[in-house]
Amino acid sequence: MAPLDPHSFSDSTNPPTTDVSLSLYFDFPSATIHGVAFFILAFPYAGQLSFDTRSLTIHQVLSPINLSPLPFSLSSSPDPIKGTQLSIFLPDDDDTAFNSFFIVFSTSPSSTALQWLCPPQTFNKKHPFVYTQCQSIHARSIFPCQDTPAARIRYTALLNVPQELSAVMSARHVGRRPPVSGEGHSHLLPNGFNSLWSSETRVVEEFLMNQPIPPYLFAFAVGELGSREVGPRTRVYAEAVNSVLDAAAKEFAGTEEMIRQGEKLFGEYAWERFDLLVLPPSFPYGGMENPRMVFLTPTVIKGDASGAQVVAHELAHSWTGNLITNKNNEHFWLNEGFTTYAERRIVEAVQGEDRAILNTGIGWKGLKEEVEKFKDNLEFTKLKNNQQGVDPDTIYSEVPYEKGFQFLWRIERQIGRPAFDEFIKKYIATFQFQSIDTERFLKFLKAEVPGIEKDIDLVLWTEGTGIPPDAYEPVSDLYTKILSLANEFKLGRMPREDEVADWRGQEWELYLENLPRVLKASQVLALDESYRLSESKDYEVKVAFLQLAILSKCRNFYSEVEKTLKEVGRMKYLRPLYRALVQGAGKEEEKILAKRVFSEARECYHPIAQGVVESILAKHI
């Protein structure tokens, strides 16, 4: 066996899947999906075929010719990171090897990609809701697959859901209609669900993704959904709550201009639609770049259009990440470093250079903190790193984003922006719809920019630990002023109201991030008394302030910390708050608070977020 990916059972000697056809029956009462998947391989094959699964029941594997059972086996004990290996044994019938087969399967309530929400956990409080989060290695808990970004697939999907609900996917919506008995592969559904498929209380939503995508970009959501049109290529979706839809439409009204600027910089937008779905507060990320249907946390709706920077990042993925994808998670910077660079170029074009520099400055501070966090395991401060036996969710950090950005910014400074713009366009055109690794990128770079390795230490940047000496802190008058005010706070002076009158969330975030990590409780109270940071509607500001309050043991704000941990599930906020509560000595009261809050809030978090918080608590309690 020759593994493709340290996080997958997929075998490089096996043919990759090219197409998948799914028929999925959503059973909300049991929080399960019963499905049939029809797989087409790149070429006929006889012998053992290895797929990834996690928390799935595999009922049958069937021949495409006569639906006779094909032999299969599951590994005896699940791997704690990769899950369970599904081995399918494809026969050589009459000297004709198979290039297709059916798998009949069911998910379980413990699927790590799915969060099933009961009505009280949703915005409208009326209907249940389910959504996916497949990155990095969770598609295998929805359907069996070669769950590695090295294997790109096209798919069709029939989603059978209760008629009062609707569905969206990272795919083109073909139509919504009453179910038809036996359509698709529904006649093969297990446990009697084939007969329930055509119930009068159900509806079918059909989708098509005819461009090859890595499995982690497979996505859907089902609930009572509404939408608002905000541009010729964009609708904003959310639960059918007018206040949420209106606020989202206002926040993201400038999306089309960002798409146009992205096209000027990186070439034609390849995915036709760029729709947005605002999910319930439990969504574990700021955004997820699912093609055609970006998923967003409601915390990016800030009321001042600044949340559009998250949209800019997810839009940038349409070129870097979705069109060109890292071959596996050891090369994650190829997705996120490029996308962070592209995001800041779009922000600069749409919102101005000051906004882009503030974004870069916050990232610079974050990179330094992440490198310090990994001081006992510097492997994960490398752009190209070894993740054998490592769960990618537990080492998720800003390093691939910000160090990757700094590397590309270093190349831009060396060869000049016009030349670098041409390089990026050619890079995207050359490798679109492919999955590549760091070596392939560097080979392309050296071919397109002869002698670049003499000017920049490419090995140090990609394989070295920490921050290279030629990385660059951003400079602007506004950035310098904010850092100067943060330094003056150390001398006992808070900023005057006239100095911060024009500040938005990013300015406050940068200011707070550059204050000493521990203050006197009286200083924390005075800062909040003047500027009400603990009440900010911008969670970036609020969480930065609450983290400061915890580290300073200013217990006046612990009730607000508890409230925040219970109302949002975004890991960007959970990680620093839980860590601040439990890291270090003399934290017995804080550790008790963290354990109690997590026990009460756990079911409101997505399974990925549950696992991340559990690992933090296990390490420090």
Catalytic residues: 314, 401
Please tell me the distance from the alpha carbon of residue 153 to that of residue 451, in angstroms, as a whole number.
Answer: 37
Q: Are 116 and 28 in contact (CB under 8 A)?
A: yes
Please tell me the distance from the alpha carbon of residue 94 to that of residue 599, in angstroms, as a whole number.
Answer: 58
Q: Of the candidates 81, 85, 101, which has an alpha carbon nearest to the alpha carbon of residue 93? A: 101
Amino acid at residue number 28: F
Residue with tokens 């600044």: 306
Q: Of the candidates 424, 364, 440, which has an alpha carbon nearest to the alpha carbon of residue 399? A: 364
Altogether, the residues listed in the chain come to a count of 621
Please tell me the distance from the alpha carbon of residue 472 to that of residue 468, in angstroms, as a whole number.
Answer: 9
| Burial profile 232-258: b = 16 or more Cβ within 10 angstroms, e = fewer | ebbbbbbbbbeebbebbbebbbbbeeb
Bridge partners, residue 115, by sequence: 131
The pairing of strands 172-177 and 275-278 is unpaired
Please, which residues have CB within 8 angstroms of residue 144's CB and are 6 or more apart in sequence? 37, 51, 52, 53, 56, 58, 86, 103, 105
Q: Are 206 and 157 in contact (CB under 8 A)?
A: yes
Q: Of the candidates 235, 184, 230, which has an alpha carbon nearest to the alpha carbon of residue 205? A: 184
Bridge partners, residue 611, by sequence: none
Q: What is the enclosing helix (H) or strand (E) of 79?
A: none
Q: Are 137 and 608 in contact (CB under 8 A)?
A: no
Please tell me the distance from the alpha carbon of residue 196 to that of residue 160, in angstroms, as a whole number.
Answer: 10
63 prior amide bond cis, ω within 30: no
Tokens in use for 83?
């899950």
Please, which residues have CB within 8 angstroms of residue 249's CB and are 6 or more apart in sequence? 228, 230, 236
Q: Are 576 and 547 in contact (CB under 8 A)?
A: yes
Taking residue 341's Cβ as centre, other Cβ atoms within 10 Å add up to 24
Alpha-carbon distances of 547 from 486, 543, 552, 553, 562, rounded to whole Å: 16, 6, 9, 10, 12
Bridge partners, residue 223, by sequence: 166
Taking residue 166's Cβ as centre, other Cβ atoms within 10 Å add up to 21
3-state secondary structure 152-220: CEEEEEEEEEECCCEEEECCEEEEEECCCCCCCCHHHCCCCHHHHCCCCCEEEEEEEEEEEECHHHCCE
3-class DSSP state of 565? helix
